[in-house]
Amino acid sequence: MTEHIYQKTIAKIIEADGIGLHSGKPIHMTLKPADPNTGIVFFRVDVTDKDNCVPAKWDHVVDTRMNTCLGNASAVVISTVEHFMGALAGLGVTNLAVELSGPELPLMDGSARDFVTLLEEAGVVKQSEPVKALKILKAVEFSDGKGATTRLDPADSGLSFKFEIDFPQTKIIGHQQIDFDLNEAAFKQLIAPARTFGFAAEVEQLRAMGLAQGASLENAIAIQGDSVLNPGGLRDANEFVEHKVLDAIGDLYEAGMPIIGRFTGVKSGHFHNNQLLRAVFADPANYEIVTL
């Protein structure tokens, strides 16, 4: 008899408050258990005159500038979902209702660590239905023609990541690469604490575009020249590439289920991750849905 891997939700309702990275506004978040086969679903409780439900799915991604933004047919949006989605993927949470008081998730400390703590405080529990997964059957690649590529290759089990970044303009990053097999223990130790990062010189430009209004040294790594401005420095020498893996884990979880495959990313970001999923789903020969 085959032992299945079962779907998971949380044991109880739990709430959190924070600031939106791009809006800079306070956000109240409530996490609620959800039935098997629900998936991850966001609700904008501040929207009462139209459909306020936004599924966390690849085909609902409407913007990928500096974050992953989901939207529905009523033009209701949820921004900066990637770190939270990464935490859900890392802990194997498959069903959850997320209520938000505004258009963005709270950034917390700029990583997934606080979300992991919140989910564990609520209690992650098994449900009655087995997990379905997206098994990659043949290589699928997306390239932007500017040196950034993403790729998914077949694998026997699980999801692994090979990621490479290159920032020659600063020695604090330079060239970093990582090989990472996604499992809960390794995710919590290595990937979840890795914070988002940016260049101090670009902050004013981003704010003029209406982005990064809530960015601070409390929730992002700020780089100036070859230095990190945060008083505590880095949490890990490879924190930059580890954060890029966190983003990719969160973005790929918008497949609507775990993926069995091998991901490779070179200088890529949210746009490339979403385009890769779109390329996968464009051809049914690329994948099959299997029960874990």
pLDDT (tens digit, 0 to 9) for every residue of the chain, 292 residues total?
A: 456 899 999 999 999 999 998 788 999 999 999 999 999 999 999 999 999 999 999 999 999 988 999 999 999 999 999 999 999 999 999 999 999 999 999 999 999 999 999 999 999 999 999 999 999 999 999 999 999 999 999 999 999 999 999 999 999 999 999 999 999 999 999 999 999 999 988 877 877 887 778 888 899 999 999 999 999 999 999 999 999 999 999 999 999 999 999 999 999 999 999 999 999 999 999 999 999 9
171/199 same-domain check: yes
Q: Last residue of a domain, which of 130, 151, 175?
A: 130
Q: Is 29 within the bounds of a domain?
A: yes
Residues 123 and 189 in one domain: no
- Overall domain count for the chain: 2
Query: Is-catalytic flag, 60?
Result: no
Residue ending a domain, choose from 111, 130, 149: 130
* Residue 154 sits in the same domain as residue 286: yes
**Looking at 22, 83, 243, 270, which residue is catalytic?**
270
Instruction: Tell which of 77, 104, 130 closes a domain.
Output: 130
**Does residue 1 form part of some domain?**
no
**pTM of the model as a whole:** 0.96
Whether 32 and 104 map to the same domain: the answer is yes
Residues 71, 181 within the same domain? no
User: What is the residue range of 189's domain?
Assistant: 133-291
Task: List the CATH number of the domain containing 143.
Answer: 3.30.1700.10
- If asked whether residues 99 and 210 sit together in one domain, one would say no
Cβ(78)–Cβ(54) under 8 Å?
yes
